[in-house]
DNA sequence: ATACGTGCAAACATTTTGCAGCTCG
DNA sequence: CGAGCTGCAAAATGTTTGCACGTAT
């Protein structure tokens, strides 16, 4: 797929017409963030973006992420006392499997479940539009990347 | 229904055989918490439990809630907001089907889906602990009671 | 020019932890 | 008695905010 890395040009224009100023920092940050894969925390961003913009402050990261979240370009997930995790919003649907120990989030998709969901909705007289499913469990990886709370 | 308020006797014995000590504070706290309705925060608890146990410290609340959560007697939720919310776990699991037009919520349960969820978790190396599933659709009733909010 | 963006540090909010004393078993 | 529970305060996290200065428009 040629589209893995987006230039973000259209998104930048969209932000601009939304009344946001396009500073150098914001431009490279938005582009950087929207090209990130998986579920990351602000802390991840702090580490990764240091190379990009040496004197970047955390506040800017929080503010930028918040901005993108407000614009529905990022999806937020939270669990336990851990920090919020974000992922770039996608059209393609998927569900989440979250480790309650380490906070890691895995994605999955299962057609049979989706089919059953449609059946259930139908039986209850609904036309299914969307759904959200989140599983919680404990991953077997030792050690878990983060501290266990047990 | 005669069972709205539980004495918590069996739960206390269960905690006891689980190796926990039944101090006065813990007993009244557990009983108090498990009779709470709806989704509350620790902060709510701080306010409410002051009447119950005047010199109660926050740490004890956190520790007790954590204990009950570990014992699967409380379910934790964290939706975007700052602090975690808890609710008393119900044995009867159910999922939600929400009408995006009228806001009505239907509950359902489907064993096949639950089974598939377990399979998915297993395949991904997880021990499944809990899940949350919400379907969104349009019910056929016309007119719908509320405006669309989604 | 000026309103908005940024870095820095301080403030905040929530949750965890260390420790001395208390209590259950 | 002794391990576990408690309150208190301090600390650890994660996030927000005030302010002086910088930059896009």
Can you give A119-150 as a three-state secondary structure string? HHHHHCCEEEEEEEEEEEEEECCCCCCCCCCC
Nucleotide nearest to A57 (CA to C1'): C7
Of A86, A108, A75, give the one whose Cα is nearest residue B117.
A108
Q: Which nucleotides of D are covered by protein (CB under 7 A)?
A: 4-9, 13-18, 23-25
| Cis geometry, peptide bond prior to residue A77 (ω within 30 degrees of 0) | no
| Nearest-CB residue to B137 (from A76, A100, A126) | A126
Q: Which nucleotides of C are covered by protein (CB under 7 A)?
A: 4-9, 13-18, 23-25
Measured at the CA of B71, the angle between CA B65 and CA B72, to 5 degrees, comes to 90
pLDDT at A80: 59
What crossing angle do the helices spanning A9-17 and A24-34 adopt, rounded to 10°?
A: 130
| Nearest-CB residue to B120 (from A108, A116, A139) | A108
Three-state helix/strand/coil letters over A110-124: CHHHHHHHHHHHHHC
For A119, name the nearest residue in chain B, comparing CA atoms only: B110
Task: Locate A63 and state its tokens.
Answer: 């503010």
**A79 Cβ contact list (under 8 Å, min separation 6):** A85, A98, A100, A103, A136, B78
Mutate to test the interface with B, among A74, A97, A134 (most CBs of B within 10 A): A97
Residue B146 has pLDDT above 50, yes or no: no
Give the separation between CA A128 and CA B23, rounded to whole angstroms. Answer: 50
Indicate the SS3 state at residue A108: strand
Q: Output the pTM of the full model.
A: 0.71
pLDDT tens track for A109-142: 999 999 999 999 999 888 888 788 989 888 876 5
pLDDT at B3: 45
pLDDT at A33: 96
| Nearest-CB residue to B97 (from A99, A121, A133) | A121
Residue A129: its chain B contacts at CB < 8 A?
Answer: 100, 136-138
pLDDT tens track for B69-94: 999 899 887 765 678 889 898 767 78
Phi, psi (degrees; rounded to nearest 5) at A144: -65, 145
Residue A3 binned pLDDT confidence (cut-offs 50, 70, 90)? very low
Q: How far is CA A58 from CA A49, A125, B42, in A?
A: 10, 49, 28
How do beta strands B74-77 and B85-88 pair? antiparallel
């Amino acid at each position: 797929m040629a589209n893995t890395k987006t230039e973000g040009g259209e998104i930048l224009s969209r932000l601009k017409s939304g009344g946001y100023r396009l500073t150098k920092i914001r431009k490279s940050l938005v582009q950087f963030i929207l090209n990130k894969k998986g579920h990351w925390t602000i802390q991840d961003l702090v580490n990764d973006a240091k190379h990009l913009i040496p004197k970047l402050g955390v506040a800017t990261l929080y503010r930028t992420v918040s901005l993108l979240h407000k614009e529905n370009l990022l999806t937020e997930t939270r669990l336990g006392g851990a920090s919020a995790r974000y992922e770039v919003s996608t059209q393609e649907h998927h569900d989440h499997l979250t480790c309650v120990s380490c906070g890691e989030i895995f994605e999955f998709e299962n057609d049979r479940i989706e089919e059953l969901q449609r059946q259930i909705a139908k039986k209850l007289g609904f036309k299914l539009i969307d759904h959200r499913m989140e599983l919680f469990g404990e991953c077997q990886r030792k050690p878990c990347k983060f501290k266990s709370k047990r």
